[in-house]
C-alpha cells in the first residue's frame, strides 16, 4: 500500500465544509493524444498521492459531425452522497436470474462533495491539455485501496492473469497472496477478486443456467457420453454422464 502525502493549506480543520488540501497534478504544459491518456496520467499520479479522478461530463462541438472538445473531471469523492433510509421498505421477492443470483448487492457512496474540478480540452493541434477550475480537495489523501478507479484500472491490467487463476479454481485468498507476492503495491481487495470471478462466470453462462451451459459445453469436448430428461417446464430433472 503506497504512502500518501499532500500539501496542506493553513486551514487544518477536517470538516469537509472548510478543510482544503492541494494534491499534485501533472504539469499544465503537458499534452495528451487522447482524454483517456490524460486521465490515466492524472490517476497514476493520484495513486501515489491519495486521490483519483473520474469523468463528470463531456462537451462536443456543434455541427453536422460533433466532436468531443472537453472532458470535465472531478475527484471520486465529489458529488452529493445519497442518504439511505434507516429501514428500507420491504421489497417483493425477485425471480432468480440465469446465473442463480437473485439479490442486488448493497452499495454505499464515499462522496462528500469534494470541490476538485479540472478539465481536459482539445486544442487546435488535436492535442489535449489540462485546465484547472479548482485544485482543492476537502479530504485528506487516502490509500489506493479506497479508490474504485485505481482498483478497476488494476483489474483491467491483470484480467488475463486473473482469468487463468479462476480457471484453476484458486481461492480468493490464494490469488491475493500471489498478487501481493508479485506486486506489493497492488490495491485489489477480496471483493474485487470475487466480483471479477462472478463476471467471468456470467460471461461463460451468457444468460443460460449452469445446466444449460454444461449441456452446450460437453459435446465440444468429445470425451463425454451423457443423457438427460426434462419436464414440460424445460427444467432438467435427470442428468447422467
pLDDT tens-digit profile, the chain (241 residues): 444 444 444 444 578 888 999 999 999 999 999 999 999 999 999 999 999 999 999 999 988 889 999 999 999 999 876 655 444 444 545 544 444 455 555 556 788 999 999 999 999 999 999 999 999 999 999 999 999 999 999 999 999 999 999 989 999 999 999 999 999 999 999 999 999 999 888 776 666 666 666 666 666 666 666 666 666 555 555 555 5
Terminal CA-CA length for the chain: 48
| pTM given for the model | 0.72
Neighbours of 163 (CB within 10 A): 14
Residue 56, pLDDT score: 94
Residue 16, pLDDT score: 84
Residue 215, pLDDT score: 63
Residue 14, pLDDT score: 73
Residue 183, pLDDT score: 93
Distance of alpha carbon 192 from the chain centroid = 9
Length of the chain: 241
Q: Give dist(CA 155, CA 176) in Å, integer.
A: 12
Closest CA to 116 of 57, 60, 72, 70: 72
Q: Is 136 helix (H, G, I), strand (E, B) or coil?
A: strand
Q: Which residue has cell 460437453?
A: 218
Residue 142, pLDDT score: 94
Under a CB-based contact definition with an 8 Å cutoff, are residues 39 and 135 in contact? no
Neighbours of 110 (CB within 10 A): 14
Cell digits for 132?
A: 484547472
Closest CA to 146 of 174, 111, 181: 111
Amino acid at each position: 500500500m503506497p504512502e500518501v502525502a499532500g500539501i496542506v493549506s493553513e486551514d487544518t480543520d477536517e470538516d469537509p465544509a472548510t478543510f482544503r488540501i492541494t494534491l499534485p497534478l501533472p504539469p499544465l504544459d503537458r499534452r495528451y493524444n487522447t482524454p483517456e491518456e490524460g486521465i490515466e496520467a492524472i490517476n497514476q499520479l493520484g495513486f501515489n498521492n491519495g486521490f483519483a479522478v473520474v469523468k463528470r461530463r463531456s462537451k462536443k462541438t456543434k455541427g453536422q459531425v460533433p466532436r468531443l472538445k472537453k472532458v470535465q473531471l472531478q475527484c471520486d469523492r465529489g458529488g452529493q452522497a445519497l442518504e439511505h433510509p434507516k429501514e428500507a421498505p420491504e421489497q417483493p421477492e425477485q425471480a432468480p436470474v440465469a446465473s442463480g443470483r437473485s439479490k442486488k448487492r448493497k452499495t454505499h457512496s464515499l462522496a462528500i462533495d469534494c470541490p476538485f474540478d479540472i478539465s481536459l480540452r482539445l486544442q487546435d493541434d488535436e492535442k489535449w491539455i489540462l485546465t484547472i477550475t479548482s485544485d482543492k480537495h476537502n479530504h485528506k489523501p487516502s490509500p489506493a485501496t479506497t479508490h474504485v478507479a485505481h482498483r478497476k484500472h488494476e483489474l483491467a491490467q491483470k484480467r488475463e492473469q486473473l482469468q487463468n487463476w479462476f480457471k484453476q479454481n484458486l481461492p480468493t485468498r490464494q490469488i491475493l497472496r500471489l498478487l501481493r507476492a508479485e506486486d506489493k503495491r497492488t490495491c485489489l481487495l477480496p471483493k474485487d477478486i470475487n466480483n471479477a470471478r462472478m463476471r467471468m462466470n456470467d460471461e461463460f453462462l451468457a444468460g443460460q443456467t449452469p445446466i444449460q451451459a454444461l449441456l452446450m459445453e460437453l459435446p465440444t469436448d468429445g470425451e463425454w457420453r451423457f443423457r438427460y430428461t426434462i419436464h414440460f417446464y424445460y427444467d432438467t430433472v435427470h442428468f447422467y454422464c
